[in-house]
């Protein structure tokens, strides 16, 4: 047996154990806020608006404070929110919860979007799998995306899901490399 290969395997295994352990002890976060949409920008009058104000007391539609508006009405920079407003605009994922993002569209243009931690059950109390689900009513579209965040990392409920997919692929590649090394011992 090749000694050198043995030490590489031991080292990689220890590194993996460290990663897995630190992931279990650090909480998973989701974004939690509502982006009010392109009709609001730095020129809007806010009057300390609450969810009740913007949803006109219809508690059927999701809304989560804080309410977020971007300077120019474009989608807010969620990395900026993570870096600067983690305390106010994220939640810690509970047992059997997902990060969720509800987005309303009109003719394909986003109207508003709500990010939250939530349990996802069907009306029959069965668990919904992660992924995106779309409901279309005329020109309106409501899209819900559910995902599981990586512990200690950035929340996964953001507009661009590629990083999570990349990390998953990296995990698989690492595992494959270890299996390969083991086979050659």
Ligand X SMILES: *[C@@H]1O[C@H](CO)[C@@H](O)[C@H](O)[C@H]1NC(C)=O
> How many residues bind to ligand X according to rule CB under 6 A?
23
- Which of 24, 25, 107, 123: binder of ligand X (CB under 6 A)? 123
Q: Could you tell me if 121 and 129 are in contact, meaning their C-beta atoms sit under 8 angstroms apart?
A: no
**What would the x/- binding string for ligand X be over residues 29 to 48, using CB under 6 A?**
-----x-x-----xx---xx
Give, for 15, the enclosing helix (H) or strand (E). helix 3-25
Among 145, 141, 143, smallest CA distance to 155 is for 145
Residue 59 binds ligand X (CB under 6 A) = no
Using CA atoms in the order 78, 83, 87, 88, what is the torsion angle rounded to 10 degrees? -40
**What would the x/- binding string for ligand X be over residues 138 to 167, using CB under 6 A?**
------------------------------
Q: Which is nearer to ligand X, 153 or 178 (CB)?
A: 153
Residue 107 binds ligand X (CB under 6 A) = no
Distance separating alpha carbons of residues 54 and 31, to the nearest angstrom: 19
Residue 108 binds ligand X (CB under 6 A) = no
């Amino acid at each position: 047996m090749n000694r050198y290969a043995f030490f590489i395997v031991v080292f990689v295994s220890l590194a993996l154990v460290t990663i897995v352990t630190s992931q279990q002890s650090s909480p998973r976060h989701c974004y939690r806020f509502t982006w009010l949409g392109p009709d609001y920008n730095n020129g809007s009058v806010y009057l300390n608006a609450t969810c009740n104000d913007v949803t006109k007391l219809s508690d059927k539609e999701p809304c989560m404070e804080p309410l977020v508006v971007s300077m120019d009405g474009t989608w807010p920079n969620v990395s900026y929110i993570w870096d600067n407003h983690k305390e106010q605009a994220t939640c810690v994922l509970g047992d059997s919860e997902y990060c969720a993002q509800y987005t309303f569209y009109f003719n394909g243009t986003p109207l508003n979007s709500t990010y939250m931690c939530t349990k996802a059950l069907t009306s029959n109390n069965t668990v919904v799998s992660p992924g995106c689900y779309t409901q279309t009513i005329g020109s309106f579209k409501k899209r819900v995306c559910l995902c599981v965040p990586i512990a200690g990392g950035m929340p996964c409920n953001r507009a661009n899901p590629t990083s999570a997919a990349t990390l998953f692929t990296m995990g698989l590649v690492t595992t494959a490399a270890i299996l390969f090394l083991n086979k050659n011992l």
